[in-house]
Amino acid sequence: MRNESLNPEAVPQSLTGFVPTTTAAASQHAEGTLIDKYGRHVTYIRLSITDRCDFRCTYCMAEEMTFLPRDQVLTLEECLRIASTFVGLGVTKVRVTGGEPLVRHNAVWLMEQIARLEGLKEVVITTNGSQLDRFAQPLFDAGVKRINISLDTLRAERFKEITRIGDLAKVLRGIEAAKAVGFQRIKLNAVMMRDRNDDELIDLVQFAIDKGIDISFIEEMPLGEIGHGRQSTYFSTEEAIERLQTRFTLLPSTESSGGPARYWRIPDTQSRIGFISPHSHNFCDSCNRVRITARGELYPCLGNNDAISLLPLLREHPDDNAPLKEAIMHTMGIKAKGHDFTEQMNSPQVVRFMSMTGG
């Protein structure tokens, strides 16, 4: 969905060439906050610090990926400038993502610096778990409060098939390491795929219960060209709930982690069961987040192609964050009202892979 009434005069002169045009009214925001033209308040950013990963998950990237040259990737200092500017505009949550963020040299330093930003409530991370046995303690010491770990299967051979090169045993060791250091919350993320892992939903929930951690199930999203038709592998939240209810009592909960997951509770357990449902329960009306890619592109909506490039601004103004701040505020005018992943299931309009956007 694109802005239908564009006014070139609305673009601040200092940003001409960097940002798409929007109407002046569309770009209005409350002082110190980021509010889009639909009244949604952006308080959460997902910041990708690398497009590289030590896995090649089938739903996330191609088997043979071409990664960005180093000079086209944000430096960690540039990542910190972006995070600091967003926090100054009222963002209270920063999630560090990738690719796999822990393959980036000095990633822990960056998270430590972000955690110190005044006004930030939490810095969190999404990881595939492959490096957690080494980095769980340093992440905790750096101020990371919560951690999400991708885990689509508990079967070693299937894990290798889905990730192409991953080692399940290493991820399970990482989960144990994360539990040992005492994060406030640990959550597993499992992408649901028919005839690939849907027969393990109950086992995954039981694993989460046994570990005393949370789990969220995610409907597969049509991002990038992949080797299988998503229409055949799509598995809905409704089907998942129905299947889980054959084993567990699910009680709806009003709890929120600040993201799109809707949670359920299982009596007499510590675990929350979440569902992220971009197809069956579109959550765009309450969207509070934007995404920054490893090459500095600011995407107001995961399901749309509209974006601006922050990298030229950062490098053209190395000692002045005012143009960066102005561009971020202006970009609220191109945040789409919503996405329609259902129509894109087999012919995605968003051709970038999930690993390029940062989840």
Spell out the domains of the chain, with CATH numbers in brackets.
8-357 (3.20.20.70)
Nearest to 275 by CA among 299, 256, 302, 300: 256
Cα–Cα separations (whole angstroms), residue 217 to 42, 98, 239, 244, 262: 24, 19, 11, 11, 10
Mean pLDDT of 33-52: 91
Nearest to 225 by CA among 60, 83, 357, 107: 60
* Alpha-carbon dihedral angle through residues 54, 56, 60, 64, given to the nearest 10 degrees: 120
| pLDDT above 90: percentage of residues in the chain | 63
Mean pLDDT of 295-321: 91
Where does the pLDDT of residue 202 fall: very low under 50, low under 70, confident under 90, or very high at 90 and above? very high
Which range of 43-57, 133-147, 276-290, 292-306 scores highest in mean pLDDT? It is 133-147
Residues 276/216, Cβ–Cβ less than 8 Å: yes
Where does the pLDDT of residue 227 fall: very low under 50, low under 70, confident under 90, or very high at 90 and above? very low
Dihedral-angle region of residue 35 (phi above 0 means left; psi in -120 to 50 means alpha; beta otherwise): beta
- Please name every residue paired with 219 in a beta bridge, in sequence order, or none if there are none: 192
Q: Which amino acid is at 223?
A: L
Q: Does residue 274 have a pLDDT over 70?
A: yes
Question: Residue 141 is encoded by which pair of tokens?
Answer: 């010491």
Nearest to 144 by CA among 120, 126, 122: 122
**How many CB atoms within 10 Å of residue 329?**
18
What's the confidence (pLDDT) of residue 283?
A: 61
DSSP code per residue over 92-138: -EEEEESS-GGGSTTHHHHHHHHHTSTT--EEEEEE-STTHHHHHHH
Strands (E), the chain: 44-48, 93-97, 122-127, 144-150, 185-192, 214-219, 251-252, 262-265, 272-276, 289-292, 297-299, 308-309
3-state class of 274 per DSSP?
strand
Mean pLDDT of 139-158: 97
Mean pLDDT of 275-282: 71
Tokens 């889905």 sit on residue: 162
Where does the pLDDT of residue 328 fall: very low under 50, low under 70, confident under 90, or very high at 90 and above? very high
Q: Output phi, psi for 258, to 5 deg.
A: 90, 0
What's the confidence (pLDDT) of residue 2?
A: 36
